[in-house]
């Protein structure tokens, strides 16, 4: 299973949002320093989330993201705020990222997902952010009636092979992932699922791996010292 450390950016800083809420924000420091640290500790990919773009639609962190990607020797995947052709092209053509994650458009503009996949077939993947199995959009603040499994099946029909699945109710909680939901989306879709939300121990990683998930994103547990990246790679891979 692929282990991917997360760096969430807001106001130019590395932060974590418990349950995806700004009111529960904790600031950890310089995103570039953490990116270099995770690379040094063995990461073979970084998971960047531009929270400013996700919440406001404004791509204010472009220069910072360019600095991060140009400073690393490993690939970076980026999510947050890509909702138009211009957004997608700007991120994939100008920022040095290896692949882009987009979530809101998978529900609101399926035609754009088809265009992105056909234009960047190996560099565009979908993010499904869900609470209680229901998808949320626009920075996790708008809930829909679309189930995560339904959406995964729909984007798979469009040709999408990889999905980052985040359980918002566990995000930043360090209470463990929702294994039942991860297993459900893996078993009912058989797409490459990268699971995120709540992973805080080696046991959590083993549980996620046993669902058949393709990968796991780890965030707050690394920053709080509950889990080292080297142990995560050793026992989760």
Which pLDDT score is estimated for 172?
A: 62
Q: Of residues 8, 50, 87, 167, which has the active-site annotation? A: 8
pLDDT tens across 175-205, in order? Answer: 788 899 999 999 999 899 999 988 999 999 9
- Rounded distance between C-alpha atoms, residue 8 and residue 203, angstroms: 24
Q: Does 50 participate in catalysis according to the annotation?
A: no
User: Is 8 an annotated catalytic residue?
Assistant: yes
Please, which pLDDT band fits residue 219 given cuts at 50, 70 and 90?
very high
Provide the token pair at 40: 């040094």
DSSP letter at 171? T
Domain CATH code at residue 146: 3.20.20.70
Q: At residue 18, does pLDDT exceed 90? A: no
**Catalytic entry in 50, 52, 129, 204:** 129
At 142 the pLDDT is 76
Over residues 119-129, mean pLDDT:
95
Q: What is the pLDDT of residues 52-98, one digit of tens each?
A: 999 998 999 999 999 999 999 999 999 999 999 999 999 999 999 99
Residue ranges making up the domain that contains 42: 2-236
Q: Which residues pair with 9 in a beta bridge?
A: 14, 50
pTM for the structure as a whole: 0.93
Tally of domains in the chain: 1
* Vertex 168: Cα angle to 34 and 180 (nearest 5): 110
217-237 residues labelled b (16+ CB within 10 A) or e (exposed): bbbbbbbeeebebeebbebbe
Which SS3 state, helix, strand or coil, does residue 16 take? strand
Query: What percentage of the chain exceeds 70 in pLDDT?
Result: 96
Contact in structure between 27 and 19 (CB atoms under 8 Å):
no
Rounded to the nearest 5 percent, the helix, strand and coil shares of the chain are: 40, 25, 30
Q: Would you say residue 235 has pLDDT above 70?
A: yes
């Amino acid at each position: 299973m692929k282990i991917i450390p997360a760096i969430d950016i807001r106001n130019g800083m590395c932060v974590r949002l418990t349950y995806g809420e700004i009111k529960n924000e904790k600031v950890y420091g310089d995103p570039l320093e953490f990116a270099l640290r995770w690379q040094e500790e063995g990461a073979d990919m970084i998971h960047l989330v531009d929270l400013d773009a996700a919440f406001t639609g404004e791509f204010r962190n472009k220069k910072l993201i360019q600095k991060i990607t140009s400073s690393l020797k490993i690939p970076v995947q980026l999510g947050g705020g890509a909702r138009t052709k211009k957004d997608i092209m700007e991120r994939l053509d100008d920022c040095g990222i290896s692949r882009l994650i987009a979530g809101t458009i998978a529900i609101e503009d399926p035609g754009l997902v088809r265009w992105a996949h056909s234009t960047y077939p190996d560099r565009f993947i979908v993010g499904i952010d869900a609470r209680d199995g229901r998808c949320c959009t626009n920075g996790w603040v708008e809930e829909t009636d679309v189930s995560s499994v339904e959406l995964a099946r729909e984007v798979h029909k469009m040709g999408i092979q990889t999905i980052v699945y985040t359980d918002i109710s566990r995000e930043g909680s360090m209470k463990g992932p929702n294994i039942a939901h991860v297993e459900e989306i893996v078993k009912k879709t058989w797409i490459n699922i990268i699971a995120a939300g709540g992973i805080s121990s080696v046991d959590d990683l083993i549980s996620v791996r046993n669902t058949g998930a393709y990968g796991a994103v780890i965030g707050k547990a690394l920053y709080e010292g509950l889990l080292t990246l080297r142990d995560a790679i050793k026992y989760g891979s």
